[in-house]
């Protein structure tokens, strides 16, 4: 059975790679099954060396749906009373430089009617609607980011933290639709 499982893992890895996925390590289980997740979009592939009657031996969204490179990277800045006097940030950097993956699955797309609608909904859910665009009143695809309007106060030291959301890997159409959703234009 181990030989069959290894063969299925190779076949599944090829199918996932064909869809653009980069699989991480396989997790093997005593019941002759295994799974691996894409390191880019977290989609999973599962193999079963002894599936039930009418079952399948290779399954999962990593073999059914292409990998998504759409990500929302999140930066931050912290302003203190002292840094505000100096006209600078006390601290800034990446809260999540790798980014949050936006990868609609086939069920979401079927439910919403289009992949674009799901991408906009997922992006707005991460970014939120209380933001301002870097280049209002017009979106410049590839150059627009969104910053929280209200900073998060730290009541202990008086500092304020604000996050910015940077779109990466989105199409121009997707960026314009996200802009319209978040900015009403």
Mean pLDDT rounded to a whole number for the chain: 91
Output the pLDDT for position 128.
94
All structural domains of the chain with their residue ranges: 2-64, 71-183
Which CA distances in Å does 136 have to 40, 62, 76, 133, 166? 31, 37, 20, 5, 15
Distance (Å, whole) CA 103 – CA 121 = 11
End-to-end CA distance of the chain: 58
Task: State what percent of residues in the chain have pLDDT above 70.
Answer: 99
Distance (Å, whole) CA 74 – CA 41 = 17
- The pTM of the full predicted model, rounded to 2 decimals, is 0.66
Q: What is the pLDDT of residues 120-141, one digit of tens each?
A: 999 999 999 999 999 888 888 8
Scored b (16 or more CB within 10 A) or e, 153-171 reads: eeeeeebbbbbbbbbeebe
pLDDT means over runs of 10, the chain (185 residues): 89 90 92 91 89 91 80 95 93 91 84 92 95 88 92 95 94 93 86
Residues 148, 128 contacting (CB under 8 angstroms): yes
Output the pLDDT for position 139.
86
Length of the chain in residues, anyone? Answer: 185
Q: What is the pLDDT of residues 76-100, one digit of tens each?
A: 999 999 999 999 999 999 999 888 8
């Amino acid at each position: 059975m181990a030989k069959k499982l290894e063969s299925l893992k190779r076949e599944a890895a090829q199918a996932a790679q064909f869809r653009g996925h980069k699989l991480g390590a396989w997790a093997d289980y005593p019941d002759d099954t295994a799974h691996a997740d894409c390191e880019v979009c977290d989609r999973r592939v599962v193999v079963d060396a002894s599936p039930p009657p009418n079952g399948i031996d290779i399954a999962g969204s990593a073999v059914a749906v292409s990998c998504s490179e759409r990500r929302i990277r999140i930066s931050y800045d912290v302003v203190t009373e002292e840094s505000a006097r100096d006209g600078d940030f006390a601290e800034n950097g990446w809260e999540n430089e790798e980014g949050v993956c936006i990868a609609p699955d086939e069920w979401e797309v079927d439910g919403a009617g289009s992949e674009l609608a799901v991408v906009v909904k997922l992006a707005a859910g991460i970014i939120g609607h209380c933001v301002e665009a870097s280049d209002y009143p017009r979106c410049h695809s590839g150059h627009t980011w969104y910053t929280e309007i209200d900073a998060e106060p730290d009541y202990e030291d008086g500092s304020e933290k604000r996050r910015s959301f940077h779109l990466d890997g989105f199409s121009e159409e997707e960026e314009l639709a996200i802009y319209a959703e978040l900015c009403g234009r």
